């Protein structure tokens, strides 16, 4: 059985002070223990978040990293720095990184390999634009992304990767893919993993849906057979909403 994973991607929101306030509120709420919980915070908040959550079962993730361990890479953060803080997850290849900062599949692949080498679990994002969806190219796009992004990821490591399917047109727009469309793409991804690895491993990999997930649609999405979690932006920034997302079974 795959353990459900609800990750809140805070994006470029919350100062350290705001982080501490929000996390104190979240930890005061009753959260389902059977659900894996992650808050993916800005780098500047990571140390404080890990410290505040040290006695809780909420894990801390970061939103990006570079693949080299150290060196002349001004402005970048290395896997060793994340290790040192106790960061367990890192989002790699978010569409905002791909579209705004020009990250390509080769760079993303290097980051995935590096995260795994340093025992940080990648949350690898993929997904199509509205134009690609309208031209029925979503499977081709996601297939190409994942084949390139997972190049040289071993069978031993693939189960440590969480794949987040995030149609770009549904991010922050209030437009959610229907639960059936989301399931169809997540099933497509699982079948691709069967092709790239094998059935047993593919069944173990967790696949999240992301794109305008909210307390009022999370249960319907999480009911789907191939959807094991949600990567949530906007709705994860309020404690009661985050708790409602985590408690999708209640």
Helices (H) and strands (E) in the chain, counts: 12, 8
Candidates 97-105, 135-143, 207-215, 241-249; binding stretch for ligand G3H (CB under 6 A): 207-215
**Least gap, CB of 231 to ligand G3H (angstroms):** 5
When asked if residue 217 is in the footprint of ligand G3H (CB under 6 A), the reply is no
Beta strands in the chain (DSSP E): 5-9, 36-41, 58-62, 89-92, 121-126, 162-165, 206-210, 229-232
Phi first, then psi: what are they for 36, rounded to 5°?
Answer: -75, 130
Of 111-170, binders to ligand G3H (CB under 6 A) are 166
Which of 42, 44, 76, 80 lies closest to 61 in space, CA to CA? 42
Query: Where does residue 82 rank: exposed (0-12), middle (13-18), buried (19+ CB within 10 A)?
Result: buried
- Residue 168 or 202 having the CB closest to ligand G3H: 168
Of 81-110, binders to ligand G3H (CB under 6 A) are 94
**Least gap, CB of 73 to ligand G3H (angstroms):** 24
Residue of 94, 96, 103, 132 marked active site: 94
When asked if residue 233 is in the footprint of ligand G3H (CB under 6 A), the reply is yes
Tokens of 51: 């410290």
- Residue 78 or 241 having the CB closest to ligand G3H: 241
Alpha-carbon span 8 to 97, nearest angstrom: 17
Confirm whether 94 is a catalytic residue: yes
When asked if residue 227 is in the footprint of ligand G3H (CB under 6 A), the reply is no
When asked if residue 215 is in the footprint of ligand G3H (CB under 6 A), the reply is no
- The site for ligand G3H (CB under 6 A) is made up of 9, 94, 166, 171-172, 210-213, 231-235
């Amino acid at each position: 059985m795959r353990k459900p994973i609800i990750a809140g991607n805070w994006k470029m929101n919350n100062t350290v002070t705001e982080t501490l306030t929000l996390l104190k509120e979240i930890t005061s709420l009753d959260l389902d223990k059977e659900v894996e919980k992650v808050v993916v915070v800005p780098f500047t908040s990571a140390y404080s978040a890990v410290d505040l959550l040290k006695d809780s079962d909420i894990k801390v993730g970061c939103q990006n990293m570079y693949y080299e361990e150290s060196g002349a890479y001004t402005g970048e953060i290395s896997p060793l720095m994340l290790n040192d803080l106790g960061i367990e997850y890192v989002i790699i290849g978010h569409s905002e990184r791909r579209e705004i900062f020009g990250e390509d599949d080769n760079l993303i692949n290097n980051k995935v390999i590096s995260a795994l080498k340093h025992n940080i679990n990648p949350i690898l994002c993929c997904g199509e634009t509205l134009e690609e969806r309208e031209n029925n190219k979503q499977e081709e796009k996601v297939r190409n992304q994942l084949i390139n992004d997972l190049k040289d990821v071993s069978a031993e490591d693939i189960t440590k990767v969480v794949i987040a399917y995030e149609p770009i047109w549904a991010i922050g727009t209030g437009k959610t893919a229907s639960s059936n469309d989301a399931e169809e793409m997540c099933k497509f991804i699982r079948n691709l993993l069967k092709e790239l690895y094998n059935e047993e491993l593919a069944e173990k990999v967790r696949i999240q849906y992301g794109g305008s997930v909210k307390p009022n649609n999370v249960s319907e999405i999480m009911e789907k057979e191939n959807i094991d979690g949600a990567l949530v932006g906007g709705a994860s920034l309020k404690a009661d909403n985050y708790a409602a997302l985590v408690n999708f079974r209640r």
